[in-house]
Structure 1
Amino acid sequence: MRGNLLPTLLLANHPWLRTLALGCTIVALIVMMWQSDEPQEPVDAAALRGQSEPDGFVVNGRYLSYDDTGKLSVRFESPRIEQFEADNKAVMESPRAQLFGEGEEEPWYLSSDSGTFREGEGLLHLEGNVKVIRTSGDRQGILTTSRLTLDNTSRTVYTDAQVELTDSFSVTRATGMKAWIDDRILELNSQVEGRYEPGQQANP
């Protein structure tokens, strides 16, 4: 009991000690109040999660784009879409797209291993085992390449990589190509070589 009463007795016998203790208590309270009122710096979410981590993701996502008349022009789907707000982009896993051209009954079908979509620019970049299937009447053409870009604003698809086009009668290879979806025009850039076998199924 004596040990517990000693500080109280000392303060009672020495008024200057009481004043000193009271002053220390007041200073401590002021410091605590000042710190609690100090505005906190905003925390950057990207810094907390890391630059490589997405802001959010969508499972089984679908994107639709319409032309000026309200007609569906582009539809693409992905089992997982990761969104990065700072870069204004979406990274897609195994994207599948359909492009609807003017005056065509059958859409163009696009697929790849991965894709990056930049909505502000209207650009869809496809990479890895890219395949484009286009059907016209009873004839089907298939284009394969390692990477391809769809520009939804200009309604074009293009690449500077090697491409291979096959149909029922021919195989054509080239480096780089550009296609206008609505005009149904395909332009091969360079190193074009092909084989045509009428009446036979092409075997690339």
Structure 2
Amino acid sequence: MFSSARIRLLIALAIVTPVLVYWGFSGDTVPQQPGGTREDSGSIDFFMRDAETVYWSTDGARAREWSAPELNHYPQRSRSELRQPQTLMPTGDGGIYKMRANEGWIVDDQSQIQLAGSVEVHHNPQSGPAGILTTSSLTIFPPQNLARTDEPATLVRDGERTDTVGLEVYFDQRRIELLSNVQGRYNAR
């Protein structure tokens, strides 16, 4: 006859089998967002973990690179969204700009990179003092070697601090334009 263990096994199989059969024949195993379809603007067509990308200039020099622990591409938005992105941009004189933020996105044609949330831009020149820019949001335009924000920003370099609302950074010229409400604190030597 049947032992109690065998009876329990048969009962468990009788309960689980219809669920597995239904799941196997239902076709779509990816859960849908409530009220959404795969073609809406929130749909991801691909994602990457530990993504790294390098861009080269027309003369073969490294123009910039970025990395992120997570990247999601949204085809309807024509952009990739990044979690904790880091961007490196070498300068013509051997220095480097290193940027990082909590989140960001890159448009598909690579003409614009948006960084948001605790944005830091570290400038490490080949010679001279290093500097750091902090703000809540920064838009980078790689083709123009330009970055811009309308948010409050702080620049610290060699013990000097400058606060501003809005600025533009011209990477290739190593120049920053402060747009409004500029206040500075300088240490006398």
> Does the TM-score normalized on the shorter chain lie above 0.5?
yes
Question: Cα RMSD between the aligned structures?
Answer: 1.6
Distance 2:130 2:69 in 1: 27
Distance 1:109 1:116 in 2: 16
The structure carrying a bigger helix percent of its residues is 1
User: Which of the pair has more CA radius of gyration?
Assistant: 1
Unaligned stretches of 5+ in structure 1?
Answer: 1-45, 200-204
Q: Does 1:135 align with 2:129?
A: no
Q: 1:60 aligns with which of 50, 65, 71?
A: 50
Q: Does 1:116 align with 2:78?
A: no
Q: 2:142 aligns with which of 152, 160, 181?
A: 152
1:115-162: per-residue Cα shift (whole Å, max 9, x none)? 010031511000000000002324111100000011011111111111
Task: Count residues with an aligned counterpart.
Answer: 153
Contact 2:166 2:180 in 1 (8 A): yes
Shift of 1:51: 3.7
- Between the aligned residues of both structures, percent identity stands at 21
Distance 2:181 2:48 in 1: 41
Contact 2:137 2:151 in 1 (8 A): yes
Partner of 2:161: 171
Alignment partner of 2:63: what SS?
strand
Alignment partner of 1:153: what SS?
helix
Distance 1:93 1:164 in 2: 23
1:68-108: per-residue Cα shift (whole Å, max 9, x none)? 10111110000010001122100000000101122x21210
Contact 2:43 2:75 in 1 (8 A): no
TM-score with structure 2 setting the length: 0.76
Shift of 1:167: 1.7
Alignment partner of 1:53: what SS?
coil
Contact 1:169 1:198 in 2 (8 A): no
1:167-194: per-residue Cα shift (whole Å, max 9, x none)? 2221100010001111111110011010
Paired residue type of 1:117 = I
Distance 1:48 1:94 in 2: 26
Q: Does 1:100 align with 2:95?
A: no
Partner of 1:29: none
